Amino acid sequence: MCGIVGYIGDRQATEICLAGLKRLEYRGYDSAGIAIVRDGELEVMKVVGKLAGLAEALEENPLEGTLGIGHTRWATHGKPSKVNSHPHTSMDGRIALVHNGIIENYAELRDQLESEGFEFVSQTDTEVIVHLVDKYYEGDLAAAFRRAVKDLHGAFALGIVSADHPDQMIAARRFSPLVLGIGEGENFIVSDMGAVREWTDQVYVIDDDEMAVITRDSIELTDLEGNPIEREPYTIPWPADAAQKGGHKHFMHKEIHEQPRAMRECLLGRLGAPEKSINLEGLNLTEDEIRGLRKVVFTACGTAYHAGLVGRFLMEKLARIPAECDLAAELRARDPVVLDNTLAIIVSQSGETADTLVALREFKEKGAKVISVVNVVDSSIARESDGVVYIQAGPEIGVASTKAYTLQILTISLIAAHFADVRGAASEHELIELRRAMLGLPEQAQILLDREEDVKRVAARFFESPNALYLGRGVNLPSAMEGALKLKEISYIHAEGYSAGEMKHGPIALVEPSLFTVAIAIKGDVYDKMIGNIQEIKARSGPVIGVAFDGDTEIPRQADEVLWVPESPEMITPITVAIPLQILAYHIADMLDREIDQPRNLAKTVTVE
């Protein structure tokens, strides 16, 4: 959500903060601000809108100094405005604070502070924190900060600087991610490793209820009682330029094109040959535990939820284990019954999505074993799970998830195939064919990318349509839902992803010439039924884009356009089908001149419930 970058060293803090925030801009971008400490003074600059506005303002009025904190905001409490943007300052303007998260008891804290004479200028929950620090401040910033943090309920990643302490910045976290970059003669606070990789690959990942006092040459980690904590630095596994566009117009485009390589990396060391069994380091489940499973429950949000829906299908069809898939935000309300030997599989790109993290904790409390399928290494979800299988997609910056989605499905397919093998739920022949097909996926993904121009031509035909319907069945129902989500989030075209079987129970009323339908009609169990659905739409003058296997002769006769995918076992087609649908959404959005990497109202990592 919000991005945080703090710097202490010898370089100009504004330059570092702006460059770091640029890498985090995808997390939230309705306002931005920075506070710099220099010569015993604190100077603050804030703007409404994107980071570029802050950069321009700083060009006109440079703030010089080698200690500073910056922030990009995604509004929760209080609309985007200059006063609501961070950093927030104490009444005397000598302490500045940035925050990511939500303070749940802010209303009562605010009432208390107001009764004690503190004046508030914003509508945010964050402002209470800086006044609390000010209230407790008696010359020791770390002591005041520690006391203030103890009064807070909710989620926070915090960074604080003070005009009275030009050699110090302080950070703390609970539930919201926070990382400290370790430099030489300089150190960093960032809300995401990607923001600091340009300057160092050594970081400390901060845990809940830990804080750090950071100088140019030292980082002192403690708990909230002040007890020292020893921690080994973590080495960021990707190269310094991984978070750059590399010649692509948008990160989303780059990430779509990274899929063949990412798939190869995901398979590496896990699946060597079709005849060999799958090796999943980190899964942390014995063969006896796998054989004893009575149920698997996938839980996730958004795109990751769609990957979980595919997972549900694979667990039942392939591994023959009863499976469910829940929206993380709905799970707690349902107070789910967790039977013995239930495995919860949590799916998350960021590993920090608040709703998903809450669902994970709910499962653990109820006694389920929890494994996660995560991209960001050492993220909260990864750390709190009993086992973790990383999808190995590398940094995903575009707000619309692409490579993480296909890699989530690939990883889940590996898990399901492994379970099927251990439980004897599929024949050796079936497993060999599936594993062979999985090994062929990077090549198939490349073939699909090489067809980009064909998909772009289809996009040019439909980009002005106000509405779209995506239909699928069986394992490709989630593909329809994901295709529609991709289109709506980056193009703002209203799109519905629906079960083709459900169409005549309602959505068919929408069909007319200005609504285009994407019908996923690859050969398999549901093919004939999909042809019937296409005919129903055509009979009502609705244009249809079919998604079909190479060489299909029927779909081109029925549909107005066809997006072709190479043939593979039906169970893993959600991986290949996703790629032309990503490309279609991308080009439609590009033709509409949308801000593809930063769609309105969205943030990459949703760290609030």
Q: How many residues bind ligand F6R (CB under 6 A)?
A: 15
C-alpha distance from residue 600 to each of 260, 303, 371, 558, 596 (Å): 29, 17, 33, 36, 9
Out of 90, 191, 356, 411, name the contact with ligand F6R by CB under 6 A: 356
CB of 10 to ligand F6R, least distance (A): 35
Residues in contact with ligand F6R, shown as a per-residue x/- string from 468 to 487 under the rule CB under 6 A: -----------------x--
Alpha-carbon distance 172 to 156, whole Å? Answer: 8
**Count of CB atoms situated within 10 Å of the CB of 39:** 9
CB of 491 to ligand F6R, least distance (A): 12
Q: Are strands 202-205 and 179-182 parallel, antiparallel or unpaired?
A: antiparallel
C-alpha distance from residue 213 to each of 43, 163, 203 (Å): 21, 15, 15
Residue 301 in the binding site for ligand F6R (CB under 6 A): yes
Residue 348 in the binding site for ligand F6R (CB under 6 A): yes
Alpha-carbon distance 608 to 602, whole Å? Answer: 13
Q: Burial-class residue 225 by CB neighbours within 10 Å (0-12, 13-18, 19+).
A: exposed
Which range binds ligand F6R by CB under 6 A, 25-33, 202-210, 243-251, 296-304? 296-304
Which residues in 441-460 contact ligand F6R (CB under 6 A)? none
Residue 574 in the binding site for ligand F6R (CB under 6 A): no
CB of 350 to ligand F6R, least distance (A): 3
Alpha-carbon distance 310 to 572, whole Å? Answer: 9
Residue 252 in the binding site for ligand F6R (CB under 6 A): no
Catalytic residue among 2, 17, 301, 325: 2
Alpha-carbon distance 506 to 521, whole Å? Answer: 21
Judge whether 17 counts as a catalytic residue.
no
Residue 353 in the binding site for ligand F6R (CB under 6 A): yes
Residue with tokens 């839980």: 299
Q: Is the peptide bond before 466 cis (omega within 30 degrees of 0)?
A: no
Residue 191 in the binding site for ligand F6R (CB under 6 A): no
The dihedral through the CA atoms of 554, 559, 560, 566 has a sign that is: negative
Which H helix or E strand runs over 534?
helix 527-538
Residue 325 in the binding site for ligand F6R (CB under 6 A): no
Alpha-carbon distance 310 to 409, whole Å? Answer: 7
Which range binds ligand F6R by CB under 6 A, 99-107, 275-283, 319-327, 344-352? 344-352
Measured from the CB atom, the residue of 46 and 587 that comes closer to ligand F6R is 587
Measured from the CB atom, the residue of 51 and 301 that comes closer to ligand F6R is 301
Residue 382 in the binding site for ligand F6R (CB under 6 A): no
- SS in 3 state form for 344-405? EEEEECCCCCHHHHHHHHHHHHCCCEEEEEECCCCCHHHHHCCEEEECCCCCCCCCCCCHHH
Chain position whose Cβ is nearest to ligand F6R: 302
Which range binds ligand F6R by CB under 6 A, 162-170, 350-358, 467-475, 564-572? 350-358
Which residues in 211-240 contact ligand F6R (CB under 6 A)? none
Residue 489 in the binding site for ligand F6R (CB under 6 A): yes
CB of 356 to ligand F6R, least distance (A): 5
Which range binds ligand F6R by CB under 6 A, 48-56, 118-126, 349-357, 580-588? 349-357
CB of 605 to ligand F6R, least distance (A): 6
Residue 533 in the binding site for ligand F6R (CB under 6 A): no
CB of 224 to ligand F6R, least distance (A): 27
Residue 401 in the binding site for ligand F6R (CB under 6 A): yes
Question: For residue 175, what is the DSSP state?
Answer: B
Question: For residue 444, what is the DSSP state?
Answer: H
Residue 302 in the binding site for ligand F6R (CB under 6 A): yes
CB of 607 to ligand F6R, least distance (A): 9
Question: For residue 341, what is the DSSP state?
Answer: T
Out of 84, 200, 259, 350, name the contact with ligand F6R by CB under 6 A: 350
Alpha-carbon distance 40 to 45, whole Å? Answer: 17
Contact 78, 121 (CB under 8 A): no
Judge whether 2 counts as a catalytic residue.
yes
CB of 325 to ligand F6R, least distance (A): 14
Contact 83, 122 (CB under 8 A): yes
Which range binds ligand F6R by CB under 6 A, 260-268, 346-354, 436-444, 448-456? 346-354
- Of 195, 139, 160, the C-alpha closest to 68 is 160
Contact 156, 103 (CB under 8 A): yes
Residue 304 in the binding site for ligand F6R (CB under 6 A): yes
Q: Could you give the residue numbers annotated as active site? A: 2, 604
Kindly list the residues in this chain that would bind ligand F6R in the complex (CB under 6 A).
Answer: 301-304, 348-350, 353, 356, 400-401, 485, 489, 605-606
